[in-house]
């Protein structure tokens, strides 16, 4: 095959449970992920040397995407070649529909898509499980990009298990032209919890039940993010769109991961358009639905 295109989804955290910092600086996580319909498409073309180009679609600004060896997609392609022991390269093109540095794991989606694309391009026939092991070396959100759907994540988030999900949910995803540093959000979490015992993180049983039942109201009541107070201390202004979304009748509003992206659960596309209109002054509001599959060949 001379060229393969693979699509991989953005992730949101339906619940992000964060435990107390360990001596090595690691925070144990218990998170529920959902893959949503914002996606990245990676095209891998057979080539004698590695190269990378990048475009954005649906209003995604790709100015902040590194095109050098630090790019997660290039790292994924090289890691796969090394692991498989093949002396191969590829020309990669990223077409990003996932806003950059928004806590939506866009770089991880690119990496997951590249693993699947090069596995196909080079006819390596590696299993999803093997690709997931390589994915975990690249970053804690990369394995989920392979699996998609709704899933639990433990450890640093890389221990992914599917969750039964009978529902289809509509979201308004509000992104901003500023970022929140993930390490800064965790440092603020540590400040907020200094001197107190932080319980082991867990995914609330009510959330697991809501997904199994496909209950949008149950999900609205069970969404949560232990990092949100820390992120709101770094960016108190995020409280304004969260309140505006609730006042515009969103079923629930929360910060996604370490932010700044905010998520609003809505009933359907029409309700989503109404909530998105109320949020338009704050940032870029997009409609998305989930769960959607993980990285798949187009
Ligand atoms: P994080 O995993 O840090 O929470 P994020 O989901 O907020 O990431 P990404 O879109 O993955 O956001 O970008 C985070 C940073 O990763 C970017 O600022 C960029 O420097 C770097 N990066 C590396 N590879 C990529 C890639 N393929 N696409 C976008 N950013 C990348």
- Ligand 1 atom with the smallest distance to the CA of 101 is 12
pLDDT at 174: 98
CB 61 within 8 A of CB 21: no
Q: Is the CB of 66 under 6 A from ligand 1?
A: yes
Q: Is the CB of 62 under 6 A from ligand 1?
A: no
CA atoms within 13 A on the CB side of 143: 21
Q: How far apart are CA 95 and CA 218, in angstroms?
A: 35
Cα-to-centroid distance, 149 and ligand 1 (Å) = 21
For the chain, the farthest-separated pair of C-alpha atoms sits apart, in whole angstroms, at 58
Lookup: tokens for 121: 């391009």
Continuous H helices in the chain = 72-84, 106-121, 128-138, 142-147, 182-192, 205-213, 216-222, 228-234, 239-247, 269-279
Active site residue 46: no
Q: Supply the pTM of this predicted model.
A: 0.96
What size, in residues, is the chain?
298
Name the residue of 27, 31, 97, 107 to mutate for ligand 1: max ligand atoms within 8 A of Cβ: 107
Closest CA to 39 of 148, 180, 117, 133: 148
Q: Which one from 95, 141, 165, 226 is the annotated catalytic residue?
A: 141
pLDDT, one tens digit for every residue, the chain (298 residues):
799 999 999 999 999 999 999 999 999 999 999 999 999 999 999 999 999 999 999 999 999 999 999 999 999 999 999 999 999 999 999 999 999 988 899 999 999 999 999 999 999 999 999 999 999 999 999 999 999 999 999 999 989 999 999 999 999 999 999 989 999 999 999 999 999 999 999 999 999 999 999 999 999 999 999 999 999 999 999 999 999 999 999 999 999 999 999 999 999 999 999 999 999 999 999 999 999 999 999 9
Tokens 């020309």 belong to residue: 91
Q: How far apart are CA 164 and CA 41, in angstroms?
A: 26
Q: What are phi and psi of 51, to 5 degrees?
A: -150, 160
Strand partners, 171: 265, 288
Q: Which residues are CB-contacts of 236 (< 8 A; sequence separation ≥ 6)?
A: none
Lookup: tokens for 72: 């997660």
pLDDT at 151: 98
Q: Is the CB of 13 under 6 A from ligand 1?
A: no
Residue ranges of domains in the chain, CATH in brackets: 3-163 (3.30.230.10), 169-290 (3.30.70.890)
pLDDT at 216: 98
pLDDT at 1: 74
pLDDT at 101: 87
Q: Is the CB of 101 under 6 A from ligand 1?
A: yes
Active site residue 209: no
Lookup: tokens for 103: 């806590």
Q: Is the CB of 65 under 6 A from ligand 1?
A: yes
Distances from the Cα of 30 to the Cαs of 19, 119, 148, 199, 264, in angstroms?
8, 30, 17, 11, 21
Lookup: tokens for 80: 């796969």
């Amino acid at each position: 095959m001379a060229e393969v295109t693979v699509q991989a989804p953005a992730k949101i955290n339906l619940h992000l449970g964060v435990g107390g910092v360990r001596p090595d600086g690691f925070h144990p996580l218990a998170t529920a992920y959902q893959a949503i319909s914002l996606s990245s498409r990676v095209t891998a073309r057979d080539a004698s040397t590695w190269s990378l180009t990048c475009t954005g679609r649906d209003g995604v600004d790709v100015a902040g995407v590194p095109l050098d060896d630090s790019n997660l997609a290039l790292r994924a392609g090289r890691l796969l070649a090394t692991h498989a022991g093949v002396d191969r390269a590829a020309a990669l093109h990223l077409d990003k529909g996932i806003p950059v540095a928004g806590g939506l794991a866009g770089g991880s989606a690119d990496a997951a898509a590249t693993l699947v694309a090069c596995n196909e391009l080079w006819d390596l026939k590696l299993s999803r499980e093997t690709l997931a092991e390589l994915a975990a070396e690249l970053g804690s959100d990369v394995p989920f990009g392979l699996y998609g759907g709704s899933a639990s994540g433990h450890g640093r988030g890389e221990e992914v298990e599917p969750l039964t999900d009978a529902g289809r949910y509509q979201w308004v995803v509000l992104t901003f032209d500023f970022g929140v540093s993930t390490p800064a959000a965790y440092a603020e979490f540590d400040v907020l919890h200094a001197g107190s015992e932080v319980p082991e993180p867990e995914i609330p049983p009510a959330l697991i039940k809501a997904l199994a039942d496909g209950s949008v109201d149950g999900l609205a009541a069970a969404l949560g993010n232990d990092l949100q107070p820390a992120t709101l201390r770094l960016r108190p202004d995020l409280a304004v769109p969260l309140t505006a979304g609730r006042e515009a009748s969103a079923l629930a509003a929360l910060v996604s991961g370490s932010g700044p992206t905010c998520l609003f659960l809505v009933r359907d596309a029409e309700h989503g358009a109404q909530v998105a209109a109320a949020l338009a002054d704050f940032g870029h509001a997009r409609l998305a639905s989930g769960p959607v599959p993980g990285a798949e060949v187009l």
